[in-house]
Structure 1
Amino acid sequence: MIELDGQAGGGQLLRTALALSLCTGEAFAMTGIRARRERPGLLRQHLTAVDAARAVGKATVEGASTGSTELRFTPEGIHAGEHRWTIGTAGSTTLVLQTVLPALWMHGVAAHLTIEGGTHNPQAPTADFIDEAFLPLMERMGIDGDFSMGGHGFYPAGGGRITFDLRPSAKPSALHLPHRGEVVERHARAILSAIPLGIGQRELEVARRRLGLGEAEVSVRQVKSPIGPGNALSIRFRAEHSTAVFTGFGIKRVTAEHVAEGVSKAASAWLAADVAVDEHLADQLLLPMALAGEGSFSTTLPSAHARSNAALIEKFLPVEFSFDDEGGGRWSIAVSR
């Protein structure tokens, strides 16, 4: 059984451990889960990920309770087919998906996954990010499936839904992204759930001015039958070899202009760095590239989160990560056996 210390990160370390345990069949015990957070231990959204992994891996689990800082997980196999999980809050549906999808992919099985909860959560990849930035790269690595969003779920109401139909797929293959190539598409979209239209229009005006977007490169999406109020500004740059999605969220007592300035600044920084992968997508690529046994990409300064995640992956798989500073704000991350 692999012994892990969860103090170095948040829920992502636990989700990575669950995903790799399912992929390898290796049991693990983690202590200090989210120990340095204001609310340490497992929360409802983490427990949904544990329950999902338990169902997919036919696993025996100890310590899966609210507030627990210790967990033992022993997988016994892979249960494909149809699964449905409800978080019950605005906890991230996409993070639950990323917990179980790698193992189902690795084992070459078919599955239909439905997850209800938050689709647009400030602390997690949005459904748009998964659909537009992450999954296209996974398809290049070999996954075969269809992703859809059946409803938006914003904090705190949740109520959104995502589905993924996985077809039997080839095991992950190596992917190398040294350059992004030319930017071929730009778009900014304001998403409004029970929020006045003017909020989105003000956000888009800032994005147009800061990023030089044309009138046809912006749009508003008003959520039909909203569960609760919510607002996000999503800016997408699609290049020849990769896509970057940057998202900002409307917050009480924060102006629409301030939200848009923050997202536009992040997008501008990625453009100026001339790298293939932004900081958040970099975090998401480590695990699938490690499963392939080989991969690399250019990115901006790696987060501490990425480094701790890489260290955990190395405990499960016979791979090694390298983080190389190429100067001028450009970094290269690579994984090899």
Structure 2
Amino acid sequence: MTKLYCGELTDKQIEDISINATQATAMISKGDYTTDYNPQDYYSGYAYGDAQLWIELNERIKKISDFQEYNSKIVENTIRYQNSLDNQYLINVNQLIEKKYQNRKVSGLYNNDGFADLFDYHFSSSLLLILLLLGVCSSYTTEKENSMTLMLRTCKSGGICTSTFKCIAMVIYSFIINLCFSLCDLFMFFICYRFNGYTQPIYSISGYENSPVVSSVLSVIVLCFFMRWLCLCTLGSIVLLLSKIANKTYYVFIGSILLLALLMVASTVGTNLLGNYLNCFNPINLILPSKHFKEFNFIKIGNIPLITYTANIIGVFLIFTICTLLNCFDLRRTK
């Protein structure tokens, strides 16, 4: 049944679904249906199962038809409220809301509920953080334990080149493990849900109607990939700094675990105004797409309302840049 009505819907299909849903509701209320298994006449094999499917399809059709009206009301109220304001920041906020919500519509029926579970799935991110620590935490401490640091410094540009290549290797390593896990996640969820509608906007997914993103689901999946990669690169650059400071690998590993725990707690409890600003520099937030894409949230930068995921990307990229420069700066100084 889902395959039969999947995609752009015509008026005839909408009418058929409405009629069948009405008949199904009447049939259930009267109890006038057979309980025999009959896969030839029923999609689910049972009359009651098909009735529930028709009712569910009709509810989804109603939700789709009401969606554009819901967004139009938001835009109208925003414009009306904006005209009565004299605060520039609030005017900018309302203009941003108007820009993001205008012309939103969902014109098709797709099996895309599985995408919501994909965005809420964080177990692979936990495994990635563990692999990152195991792969990076001994980058400098192994050289210290084997007395290779002095030898590298005697080589022409040895310290600078080593530091640069270690940073590059960490970025490539993060990309490879992130790509492998992301493809595995997408493949396993596709096997379980058989979802479609990659080209539909993300606000067509149940629970993401108020998303600040207007791009397609596929675009958001790609964005989530790069956000998680930036998170891994930033944490990796911090671990490199810890490895440069410490003399033993287990010191770096313990310090990294404590840092991750602190960042996770800050991401969970930092919900006040100060916490929202600090969390813009928290790389852990980048691996939580549902936190950014479900609701329309923004922070104030002067008179500019900046959407939270944009602020988070900018803040974390700044941390990554600083940590990478510190890696090179320290080795140049000690060359």
TM-score range, shorter chain: under 0.3
- Whichever structure has more helix as a proportion of its residues is 2
The alignment's TM-score, normalised by the length of structure 1, stands at 0.20
Between structures 1 and 2, the one with greater strand share: 1
Q: Kindly indicate whether structure 1 or structure 2 has the higher relative contact order, using CA contacts under 8 Å at least 6 residues apart.
A: 2
> Max radius of gyration: which structure?
2
* TM-score normalised to structure 2 length: 0.20
